Structure 1
Amino acid sequence: MPRTRHRQGRLGPPRRRRLTASLGDRISALGGVVVIAVGLALAAIVEQAVMPPAARHAVADRRPVHVRHSRTPRPAPSRSSPSRAPVSPAVQLSRKVETVVLAERSRVARRDYGVGALPTPIVRLTRMDRARTWAFGTETIPPPRGMTVMPESSLYVAQRTRAGWQVALAGTPQFTTLLRKAPAAVVPAGERPVLERFSAAADPPLDTGLMLPWGVGQSWTLLATDDGVSGFDGGDGRVLAPGDGRIYRLCSSAAGHGLVLLIHPNGLATEYYQMSDVTKVRDGDLVKRGDYLGRTGTEQPCGGGEAPQRMVRFAVTDATGTMRLDHFQLGGWTLRETAAATFAERAGVRVDAGNPLLNFGATPPSPAPAPSGSPSPGRTPKSGPPSVRVPDVPLPGGSPGAVV
């Protein structure tokens, strides 16, 4: 019987072929995977290089996102925060002047304006030294809207110390004290004497030695205004200085309208309002009699609104404000202000409001009728019922003017 040969450990041809085929298939599959991976990597590289950035971003998740807010409120920024710019000395000064003015002058202003609340004062800085420790300027309390009156105004001098700005208004002892200590860059030597006399508020001379504020030999119309103030208009409308003095602008506009104060050598001052085209002479400079000051107008840049009639509002003032015009002598006339009327007298001739008044210049007036009482010029309220004016009576021949 033939012996059968057993092949241990060796594969026959069919089985070997099956194993070889299986191994080749696995290698082929692995190669395919590698090729696909390499292809994907190359595709990503190409995408990064070719496609724009916007196209490469994934689509945003549009589901709502709930943000948890803190219930602790954010603190309000403090004025003393380092991130805020420091307040300049000029701004600090303006705020201090406003405070002082309302504390010292509000009672008089409310009485004169006939109101309870006042607008914010207009503070004008005229000069400040380089160290920003001394300052000189003007302040004005604007009249309420719709009120055409002469504004309340004054001068101030201030010194900055460690405690802040110390402000003194004209008419107070502190004003004279600071005035004498202020450097020449702030208060020049030529201005000090007249400012001191102005602030002293002594009894003013009735014979002012001043002319009326227009050309000598011209007649302007005397107009009815508020108490303590006369209105004038006529001729070419040019308002002229009635005498020598130092000029100061108390408030003004870019268009050249403003309130002008002229302090004369004896300390008496005259004030002009409702002017246009105001002179550009620097504050504190000396003007001479007859120098141009401005033109009659209707605008009132210090508040109140536009006046219904062209004129210059004229007043005699001291450091405390407008004074009654009664018995002051200007331009050859004695001005009179009574409860019934404001008028002018000269040698028995009387000119009432609405009639022309001739400017005789800065000459002593002719003897006028003796007053019924002792002259007592003083500050008068701007509020209250309007004065009743004496009717105009024409002169013989039909020309309006004085009542003989």
Structure 2
Amino acid sequence: MVQIRRWAGIATALLATELLVAGTAAHAAPAPDPVRVNVEDAVTAKLLGQARAATADHADESDTRVTVTRRAGGWAFGTAVTVTSHEEDIHPTGAVFIARAEAGTWRVNFDGEAGFSELAAESPLVNKQEKAVFARTPSTMQAGGDYRTGMALPFAVGQTWTMTSGPHGWGGYEAPYSSIDLAGGDQVVRAARAGTAYTMCTGWIRVIHDRGYSTDYYHLWSNISANGTAVGQGAYLGYTGTDVTCGGAASGRHVHFGLRQNSAYVSIAGHGLGKWEFANGASAYQGGARHGSAWVGAGGGLYNYGALGFNQAVVDANGGGTLTRRSGPGSGYGALGSVGDGATVTVSCSANGTSHTGRYGTTALWNRLSDGSWVSDAYLWTGVNGPINGWC
């Protein structure tokens, strides 16, 4: 692994790659003419362009670290990080990149971009495991009301850790509030879902998952050294720590956990992790999470129930202790018993029935459970608006 900092030639790279880094047009095979711009400068140019657009600050070449971890012929693969100040809680940003030499310069794409998927499908540097994740062009799923992640919390299932800070920005106070801080338990940070892992810099691991998602883990101590390492859900990534090699601040050991989708940090609010649904507070670092009717705010303990399946739901009786199961999709059908608040249920299919009002509004949708009984969708958290396993 070779880490290179390039300060010269950035302006030239930015001009030479202006059209190619966008990655939106069809591309021919790599041209045989000599590459006039080195890949480190081309990657840095794109990284700085994104950093300036996102933060409106004056990031420059001295703030970047481009690490080429694989290189062959006209291809390069690695990580690119914008380093931040160590004097305040502003965390670094970065990306996994693939670059291909074209027409004397480089086409560069970052993880999550559609162009990244295109290059991954063709690159000889991308292994089979990575292709299985990268080659799926992402879509903006949450815009359609789908907030399912299939993720656990980033520590061992069955443990309770303290959410030392509620939802806040990856860099602190900026929107979206993509991140939470966690500490406690055995202090072992684990992958929230299966994927491929990359060391962005010392103390920072990114895991790229399916469905356009990726997760970031920062401030780690004794973290793994990963370069496309396949990890399963719950795999060891490192220990909580206070590492700020690439910037930011940490007053006590913890993991700064961030959620990304389609190459950008996204609001953690509404998403399910470890069968908790997260919610923003009045300002950054406030807010909390809900499991059934139970609410935990910043400073409280989160029990890791594990990942919620894509055809499962958590019962939210909206303050009640139980939810009545019916023989059909409506309150006029006979009662078949009840299911407790906070329980996990599996949904077979859905149908419309009598209308009811729960924590999230009014709906006529009913869900048939795997045991054949029915419950109103008004009292379930599924992570999606509408049926989660088709219509009956």
TM-score, with structure 1 as normaliser = 0.61
Distance (whole Å) between structure 2 residues aligned to residue 174 and residue 214 of structure 1: 33
Whether 1:138 and 2:83 are equivalent positions in the alignment is no
Distance (whole Å) between structure 1 residues aligned to residue 361 and residue 101 of structure 2: 48
| Alignment-mate amino acid for residue 85 of structure 2 | P
Alpha carbons 1:329, 1:365 under 8 Å: kept: no
- SS of residue paired to 1:286: strand
Deviation at 1:211, TM superposition (A): 1.1
The 5 Å alignment of 1:65-214 reads 92-110=38-56, 115-118=57-60, 120-129=63-72, 131=73, 133-183=74-124, 186-197=125-136, 200-204=138-142, 205-214=146-155
Whether 1:236 and 2:179 are equivalent positions in the alignment is no
- SS of residue paired to 1:124: strand
Partner residue in 1 for 2:222: 277
- SS of residue paired to 2:120: helix
The 5 Å alignment of 1:373-392 reads none
Aligned-residue identity in percent: 29
- SS of residue paired to 2:141: coil
Q: 1:261 to 1:201 in 2, by over 3 A?
A: farther
Distance (whole Å) between structure 2 residues aligned to residue 215 and residue 104 of structure 1: 35
TM-score, with structure 2 as normaliser = 0.63
Partner residue in 1 for 2:232: 288
Over the aligned positions, Cα root-mean-square deviation in angstroms equals 2.7
Pick the aligned partner of 2:307 from 335, 341, 362: 362
- SS of residue paired to 2:128: coil
Distance (whole Å) between structure 2 residues aligned to residue 273 and residue 326 of structure 1: 20
Name the structure where strand makes up a greater proportion of residues: 2
Unmatched tracts of structure 1, length 5 or more: 1-78, 80-88, 253-257, 375-404
Distance (whole Å) between structure 2 residues aligned to residue 362 and residue 138 of structure 1: 29
Distance (whole Å) between structure 2 residues aligned to residue 367 and residue 154 of structure 1: 37
Distance (whole Å) between structure 1 residues aligned to residue 294 and residue 110 of structure 2: 41
- SS of residue paired to 1:208: coil
Q: 1:151 to 1:117 in 2, by over 3 A?
A: closer
Q: 1:162 to 1:347 in 2, by over 3 A?
A: closer
Whether 1:330 and 2:269 are equivalent positions in the alignment is no
Alpha carbons 2:75, 2:101 under 8 Å: kept: yes
Alpha carbons 2:65, 2:81 under 8 Å: kept: yes
Distance (whole Å) between structure 2 residues aligned to residue 241 and residue 117 of structure 1: 31
Deviation at 1:311, TM superposition (A): 0.6
| Alignment-mate amino acid for residue 214 of structure 1 | F
Alpha carbons 1:201, 1:320 under 8 Å: kept: no
Alpha carbons 2:118, 2:135 under 8 Å: kept: no
Deviation at 1:373, TM superposition (A): 8.4
Partner residue in 1 for 2:382: none
Deviation at 1:348, TM superposition (A): 1.1
| Alignment-mate amino acid for residue 313 of structure 1 | H
- SS of residue paired to 1:103: helix
Partner residue in 1 for 2:241: 297
- SS of residue paired to 1:107: helix
Q: 1:343 to 1:301 in 2, by over 3 A?
A: same
Alpha carbons 1:240, 1:289 under 8 Å: kept: yes
| Alignment-mate amino acid for residue 260 of structure 1 | I
Unmatched tracts of structure 2, length 5 or more: 1-8, 10-34, 319-357, 363-392
- SS of residue paired to 1:344: strand
* 1:323-376 alpha-carbon deviations (Å, 9 max, x no partner): 1111111112111114343201011111011111111112455234556689xx
Q: 1:215 to 1:371 in 2, by over 3 A?
A: same
Whether 1:352 and 2:292 are equivalent positions in the alignment is no
Distance (whole Å) between structure 2 residues aligned to residue 315 and residue 246 of structure 1: 16
Pick the aligned partner of 1:218 from 147, 159, 164: 159
Name the structure where helix makes up a greater proportion of residues: 1
- SS of residue paired to 2:53: helix
Q: How many residues align?
A: 272
Distance (whole Å) between structure 1 residues aligned to residue 209 and residue 289 of structure 2: 22
| Alignment-mate amino acid for residue 244 of structure 2 | Q
| Alignment-mate amino acid for residue 211 of structure 2 | N
